Amino acid sequence: MPWTKIYGDKSAFEKAAAESDVPLRGITYAEALREAQAQLLRDDERVFVFGEGIDDPGGVFGSTKDLHKEFGDERVFDTPLAENALTGIALGAAVSGMRPILVHMRVDFVPLTLDQILNHAAKWSYMFDGKVHAPMIVRSVIGRGWGSAAQHSQNLHALFTHIPGIRVIMPATPYDAKGLLMAAVEDGNPVIFIEHRWLYGHMGHVPEDPYTIPIGKGIVRREGTDCTVVAISQQAAEAVKAADILAEEGINIEIIDPRTLRPLDTDLIVGSVEKTGRLVVADNGWKYGGIGAEIAARICENAFGALKAPIERINVPECPTPASHILEAEYYPGIEDIVAAVKKVVQYGHA
């Protein structure tokens, strides 16, 4: 199935498309997000898109480019630097029947909105016995590589998974970016939709017609028998590359992309670990209290007897992000870390 594949750059996709038995339409991750929003705006008058810088020439790395020209500045518009107030506007619009998509370009500043998200959006449906909903989407960006340092390049997704009533979505492919964003708008709950900056240029198969992907359903990116690697967001692309290296040494990993962190597809991960007996979780967030800890705990609760080795977690160091490009390159995990962690659990007990 073409939508399960992670192609990466344009040349890799074009090679796959040339060899495919079915037509493959290739667009980038950023283009997929833009297309999803355009179709939502076109098909649902309740949808509007707003946030800081979305009508700039770059259009949030291309993901909102020229939408204001197509749909007008009453439905797609720039905003002041007032994150908490903007999230309150989104919440008010959502409970009034609208479907706002609020773009907080950097996840570092979403904590400024926690009162609106934690104390209000997450709880309204519960407090009003399901009679009031807050169907608001908060798009935000994580990433690395431009020296933005400690206050502009954090990976805070685990922070939001702690809150009942909030969906947390982290798509890794263009296909999932479009399908999950459309599903999020239809879901009826508040959603934190987190995109990795390094994925915006990735190209993949994306159908032109609107479609949705079930929220809370992960996917097997690659089947294997020796070790399960749960790879989150951009780490899914790293895991695919690591799998090729490991395969040359006779180690076949199964790659699970959860796609959504809350709700989490526990059954898919448990089933994979019961088959392989080993687990590595690759994440760009911190280890302490991170999503890897939650996944590891669920395996210990549901598949402890299947484990042949201790669980390995791959994370960034327990310190703020450095600004230096050299230090930043050392700070973030990648292919080599996944390869080393898999070898460690596969070789456990044989040293």
The C-alpha atoms of residue 87 and residue 204 are separated, in whole angstroms, by 32
What residue has token string 């997929």? 32
Q: Which helix (H) or strand (E) holds 168?
A: strand 167-169
Q: Which residues of 228-252 are buried (b: 16+ CB within 10 A; e: fewer)?
A: bbbbbbbbbbbbbebbeebeeeebb
Q: Which residues of 12-38 are buried (b: 16+ CB within 10 A; e: fewer)?
A: ebeebbeeeeeebebbbbbbbbbbbbb
With a CB cutoff of 8 Å and minimum separation 6, the contacts of 119 are: none
Using a 10 angstrom Cβ sphere, with 0-12 exposed, 13-18 middle and 19 or more buried, the burial of residue 287 is: middle
Which among 14, 133, 152, 274 is annotated as catalytic? Answer: 152
Tokens linked to 165 = 């009533």
The C-alpha atoms of residue 284 and residue 287 are separated, in whole angstroms, by 9
Using a 10 angstrom Cβ sphere, with 0-12 exposed, 13-18 middle and 19 or more buried, the burial of residue 45 is: exposed
Which among 83, 195, 312, 328 is annotated as catalytic? Answer: 83
Instruction: State whether residue 16 is helix, strand or coil.
Output: helix
Sign of CA pseudo-dihedral 105, 230, 259, 111: negative
The answer to whether residue 294 is catalytic is no
Tokens linked to 149 = 């340092």
The answer to whether residue 104 is catalytic is no
How many residues are given for the chain?
Answer: 351
The C-alpha atoms of residue 194 and residue 53 are separated, in whole angstroms, by 17
Give the residue numbers annotated as catalytic, written as ranges: 83, 152
